[in-house]
Chains A and B, each alone.
Chain A
Amino acid sequence: MSELSDLYQEVILDHNRRPRNFRVLAEATHQAEGYNPLCGDRLELFLTVDGGVITDVGFQGSGCAISKASASLMTDCLKGCPVADACTLFERFHRMVTTPPDVAVEDLGKLSAFAGVRAFPMRVKCASLAWHTLKAALNKAQKATTE
């Protein structure tokens, strides 16, 4: 049962229940839609970038607890973050969730809550959907999928 409680940590359940930054940004400079065709998780991400810094961020959509909490926690981390750092954070998050479960991973603060998905290979895409959508938005691509 410990794997299950590693996956559904309190911080994840909390962000699932009360997603932060769950709103449309009318004045967004960047936006993209993320879609996981396997389970139908769908989210829209909005960013306001000013002088190379992400000044505001919001998201909308529907999905499982893991994908929703991941998007919520990601948006929390991105506010005030330089674009270059956001790209690095994408890489670090991606490395964390794709490292085998028995290998130590870097401490990513609150984002480390998602290290638990490593024991659930089918759920890694749920955790990384928001991040792929972030990458698409920053690259000015319209859509990201986890395929």
Chain B
Amino acid sequence: MTPVAAQARGFPVLDVARVRADFPILRRQARGRPLVYLDNAATTQKPQVVIDAITRYYTEYNANVHRGVHELSEIASEAYENARRKVSAFFNASHERQIVFTRNATESINLVAHAFGRTHVGAGDEVLISAMEHHSNIVPWQLLCEERGARLRVAPIDDRGELMLDEFEALVGERTKLVSVTHMSNALGTINPVEDIIRIAHRRGVPVLLDGSQAAYHMPVDVQALDCDFYAATGHKLYGPTGMGILYGKETHLESMPPFLGGGDMISSVTFEKSTWNTLPHKFEAGTPDISGAIALGVAIDYIQSIGLSQIAEHEQALLAYGTDALAAVDGLRMIGTARHKASILSFVLDGVHPHDIGTIVDREGVAVRTGHHCAQPVMHRFGVPATARASLAMYNTRDEIDALVRALGRVREVFH
């Protein structure tokens, strides 16, 4: 791999113009206007180095991994495992054996629900989640609980969209076998007090899975310092390609879990009588993986590191504060999700205008926002709205883009006069 261009720069504060220059898509227009991409919580755009990494893999060393003795396979295998080491370092796992590659965070959570859940959750047991979860951290547990005769418990949130920690604590009981909560809400932006959550759960011996889909690209995550048992994340929000998910698991858990999917690469030996499993993490990676995806994710992580997550967080927090004030000044706008500790999400409704109509009108101004329930229908119910419009920020967004959103909302008012 050639070194990431930005790596050499090492700028102390985020230079947003230089960052933007690394993302070719930001130069395009949308609906004949400059693209204002504010749908980052759905997926982030990709820097040129990530796009190039995919092309380079297929152009120069495409081969299957962990199989051939030939040169190309050796290069591909090394690049694939090197990506795992980068991911491991990024989350400060103690060893890359603890990093399993999946398709997305949803699959990471499903892996735990199947392999850990089916081993440890039985009739009458409980799995505890929160009221702000994405469907991907609700449905796998519903399926598990239904199958095992277990019960899904839900810790409530308050009107700001913050987890009610006392209520959460009261719900961690004798029968609780797993706590699975989001590190950061995709619909509200709330950053959960994960240290407290983990401390409370561990005091009762209950393992904790954190859904880091939203958190991982906004703030540094240290799985050892957090002492979480599992951490799920997704590559395409880390400025990497779609099709790459990440699961961190403590080694003792991963060792004790049966495989998730069976097939090639996850075995040590196969006979028709019995098969034995490969070592970690390969036990959980059946079949040919997304090799170019993993390599490109590694490059995306290099890129993030070259900018610095702390710098990214600082830039995004300043932009969030600016956006929060700018939207507060919009007539008839109500923010959904006003947690004291939040990041990068501006979810809102406008009096008399359905979010879907907001989305269509601002789109005509070149502004891309998400409208709908954000795969978090229980959150919508909690706030008594059918849907929201959501602007979500990433490292390359600017104040000018927030201003463009506000202007586009003015256009919404003109249409719905």
Contact = CB atoms under 8 A, between A and B. Distances in A.
B360 A40 contact: no
DSSP majority for the B interface?
mixed
Of the candidates B356, B371, B387, the one having the most CB atoms from chain A within 10 angstroms of its own CB is B356
A130 interface: no
A121 B350 CA distance: 23
Contacts of A103: none
A139 interface: no
A12 to B, nearest CB: 10
A39 B372 contact: yes
B361 A40 contact: no
Given A39-B372, A40-B373, A120 B416 contact: no
A41 B380 CA distance: 13
Contacts of A123: 356, 360
Contacts of B372: 38-40
B415 A39 contact: no
Category for how many chain B residues contact A? 10 to 19
A42 B356 CA distance: 13
B416 A13 contact: yes
Contacts of B124: none
B33 to A, nearest CB: 11
A39 B387 contact: yes
A82 interface: no
A1 B416 contact: no
Contacts, number: 50
Nearest to B361: A4
B255 to A, nearest CB: 40
Contacts of B360: 4, 7, 120, 122-123
B357 A66 contact: yes
B386 interface: yes
Contacts of A47: none
Contact of B415 (A4, A38, A40): A4
A62 interface: yes
Contact of A65 (B364, B371, B380, B416): B416
Contacts of B377: 40
A93 B115 CA distance: 50
B380 A40 contact: yes
Contacts of B416: 8, 13, 65
B85 interface: no
Interface in B349-374: 352-357, 360-361, 364, 371-373
A81 interface: no
Interface in A109-147: 120, 122-123, 126
B331 to A, nearest CB: 17
Nearest to B354: A64
A40 B357 contact: no
Interface in B328-354: 352-354
Nearest to A122: B360
A64 B371 CA distance: 11
Interface string A1-39: 101110110000100010000000000000000000011
Nearest to A123: B360
Contacts of A101: none
A1 B31 CA distance: 10
A64 B364 contact: no
Given A8-B415, A39-B371, A65 B354 contact: yes
Contacts of B356: 39, 41, 63-64, 66, 123, 126
Contacts of A40: 372-373, 377, 380, 386-387
Of the candidates A40, A65, A122, the one having the most CB atoms from chain B within 10 angstroms of its own CB is A40
A73 B120 CA distance: 55
A116 B206 CA distance: 56
Contacts of A126: 356
A1 to B, nearest CB: 7
A66 B354 CA distance: 10
A126 B356 CA distance: 10
Interface in B387-411: 387
Given A4-B415, A40-B380, A65-B353, 14 more contacts: A3-B364, A4-B361, A8-B357, A8-B416, A38-B372, A39-B356, A40-B373, A40-B386, A40-B387, A62-B386, A63-B356, A65-B354, A66-B357, A122-B360
Closest 10 CB pairs of A and B: A64-B356, A64-B354, A39-B356, A40-B386, A65-B357, A8-B415, A64-B357, A40-B387, A62-B386, A4-B364
Interface of B: 352-357, 360-361, 364, 371-373, 377, 380, 386-387, 415-416
20 contacts: A1-B364, A4-B360, A4-B361, A5-B415, A8-B361, A8-B415, A13-B416, A39-B371, A39-B372, A39-B387, A40-B373, A41-B386, A42-B386, A63-B354, A64-B354, A64-B355, A65-B353, A65-B357, A66-B357, A126-B356
